[in-house]
Structure 1
Amino acid sequence: MILYPAIDLKDGACVRLLRGDMAAATVFGTDPAAQAKAFADAGAQWLHLVDLNGAFAGQPVNADAVEAILRAVKVPVQLGGGIRDRAGIEDWLAKGIARVILGTVAVENPALVREAADAHPGRIAVGIDARRGRVATRGWAEETQVEVTDLARRFEDAGVAAIIYTDIDRDGAMGGPNIEATEALARAVTIPVIASGGVSRLADLTALRDTGVIAGAISGRALYDGALDLGEALAALR
């Protein structure tokens, strides 16, 4: 199972939100590239980036910070937040993003996800963010009636690289991930599932790993707070 350190970008800084609330942002650093390099130097195999402003604006906002990160590290980087058209997808892949995460458009324009996945095998992921099993879109600001598993199954034959499943109520709360829901999703589809939201200690990671069906986990606040030591976590997962 791969551990993805998270760098959430707001106004050019590294932040973490509490349950997706932009007004409840804690700034952990003002040099995202330096943070990315620190994660990579500690042994991270991948980095997970989110343009939080972009998720609300519907277009990239923190592009300068993302590009600085790409210059600073050699490990593959996945990026989500505000990427909602083919031009945006192509632009980020051309700039060196290894995997583009499509969230809102997976609900609103699933044909775009299919087209992109077909054109770029292994480089398109679907981000599914949910409250109480229902998908939320547009920076988690809009809740839909679409159920998580139903949305995931729509892309079973599309060739997407992964599904990144975030339990919004767990995100940034340091209360542990929703292992039951994440495992259920991973067992319902053949697409690799990456867990996000609430991963705050080594026991969370090992519990996700021990399901035997979860491909990865994303952690942010716990790494910044020191509740989770990246080197120790990577060693345990190896």
Structure 2
Amino acid sequence: MILYPAIDLKDGKAVRLLRGDMEKATVFNDDPAAQALEFVAAGCEWLHLVDLNGAFAGEPVNAAAVEAILSQTQTPAQLGGGIRDMATIERWLEKGLARVILGTVAVENPGLVREAARAHPGKIAVGIDARDGRVATKGWAEVTDVDAIELAKSYEDAGVAAIIYTDINRDGAMQGPNIEATAALARAVTIPVIASGGVSSLKDLRALRDCDAPLNGAISGRALYDGAIDLKEALKMLKR
């Protein structure tokens, strides 16, 4: 199972939100590229980047910070937030992103997701962010009537590389992931699933690794910044 350290970008800085609330942001590093290099030095295999401002604006806002990370590290990175058309997808892939995460458009424009997955095999992921099982869009500001598992199943034949499943109620709360819901989604599809939201200890990572579902990986943010999870130790544990 892969551990994806998260760098959430707001106003050019690395922050963490509490349950997706932009008003409850804690700044952890003024220099996101330096933060990325710290994670890389610890041995991570991937980086998970989120343009928080972009998710609300519907277009990239923290592009300079993302480009700085891409230019200073060779580690594959995936990015979500405000990516809602083919031109933006292709621009990011040309700049060296390994994978683009499509969230809002996965609900509003499934045709774009399918087109992008066909055009860029292995480089398109779907972000499914759910509150009480229902998908939220536009930076989690709007909760839809769409069921998270049904949305995931609708992309079974689309060729997407991964699904990033976030339980919004757990995100940044340091209360542990929603293992039951994550495992249920992973069992419902053949697409690799990455767990996100609430991963706050080695115990949480172990529980995700050992749950009865084929999880590809887990994303952690606040716990790495707070020191609740030692990245080197976590990577070692997940390799065992």
Which residue does 2:165 correspond to in 1? 165
**How many pairs align?**
238
Inter-partner Cα distance in structure 2 for 1:122 and 1:205: 25
Instruction: Tell me, in whole angstroms, the C-alpha distance in 2 between the residues paired with 1:13 and 1:47.
Output: 16
| CA-CA distance at 1:6 after TM superposition | 0.1
**What does 1:23-38 correspond to in 2, within 5 Å?**
23-38=23-38
Name the residue aligned to 1:237: 238
Aligned to 1:223: 224
Q: Note the C-alpha offset of 1:72.
A: 1.1
Deviation at residue 213 of structure 1 after TM alignment: 1.1
For 1:168, the aligned partner's letter is: I
CA distance in 1, matches of 2:37, 2:116: 29
What's 1:81 paired with? 81
Q: Distance in 1 between matches of 2:144 and 2:109?
A: 14
Q: Deviations over 1:85-106 (max 9, x none)?
A: 0000000000000000000000
Distance in 2 between residues matched to 1:192 and 1:59, nearest whole Å:
26
Matched residue, 1:139 = 139
Q: Provide the C-alpha distance between the structure 2 equivalents of 1:237 and 1:115, rounded to a whole number of angstroms.
A: 34
Gaps of 5+ in 2: none
Q: Please, what TM-score do these two structures have when normalized by structure 2?
A: 0.99
What SS does the aligned partner of 1:215 have?
strand
Question: Is 1:182–2:182 an aligned residue pair?
Answer: yes
Structure 2 residue matching 1:3: 3-state secondary structure: strand
Give the partner amino acid of 1:80.
G
CA distance in 1, matches of 2:72, 2:175: 32
1:66 alignment partner in structure 2: 66
Correspondence 1:97 to 2:94 = no
Runs of 4+ in 1 over 2 A off after TM superposition: none
Identical-pair percentage = 77
Q: Which residue identity is paired with 1:224?
A: Y
CA distance in 2 between partners of 1:111 and 1:209 (Å): 33
CA distance in 1, matches of 2:175, 2:149: 23
Q: Per-residue displacement from partner, 1:50-103 (whole Å, max 9, x unpaired)? A: 000000000000000000000111110000000000000000000000000000
Tell me the CA shift for residue 158 of structure 1. 0.4
Look up the SS of the partner of 2:214 in the other structure. Answer: coil
Q: CA RMSD in A?
A: 0.4
Deviation at 1:37, TM superposition (A): 0.5
Give 1:123 deviation, angstroms. 0.3
Q: Which amino acid aligns with 1:198?
A: G
SS in 1 for 2:61: coil
Deviations 1:191-223 (A, max 9, x none): 000000000000100110112411100000000
Instruction: Give the distance between the partners of 2:237 and 2:72, measured in 1 at CA.
Output: 26
Secondary structure at the aligned position of 1:106 is classed as helix
Question: What is the alpha-carbon distance in structure 1 between the residues aligned to residue 204 and residue 161 of structure 2?
Answer: 24
SS of structure 1 residue aligned to 2:121: coil
Unpaired runs of 5+ residues, structure 1, are none
Give the distance between the partners of 2:227 and 2:209, measured in 1 at CA: 21
Partner SS for 1:23: strand
Match of 1:57 in 2: 57
Q: How far off its partner does 1:146 sit?
A: 0.2
CA distance in structure 1 between the partners assigned to 2:96 and 2:210 by the alignment: 33
**Secondary structure of residue in 1 paired with 2:3:** strand
How many Å separate the matches in 2 of 1:19 and 1:92? Answer: 27
SS of match in other structure, 2:215? coil
Counterpart of 1:146 in structure 2: which amino acid?
V
Residue 102 of structure 2 aligns to which amino acid in structure 1? Answer: L
DSSP 3-state at the match of 1:50: strand
CA distance in 2: counterparts of 1:210 and 1:227, whole angstroms: 20
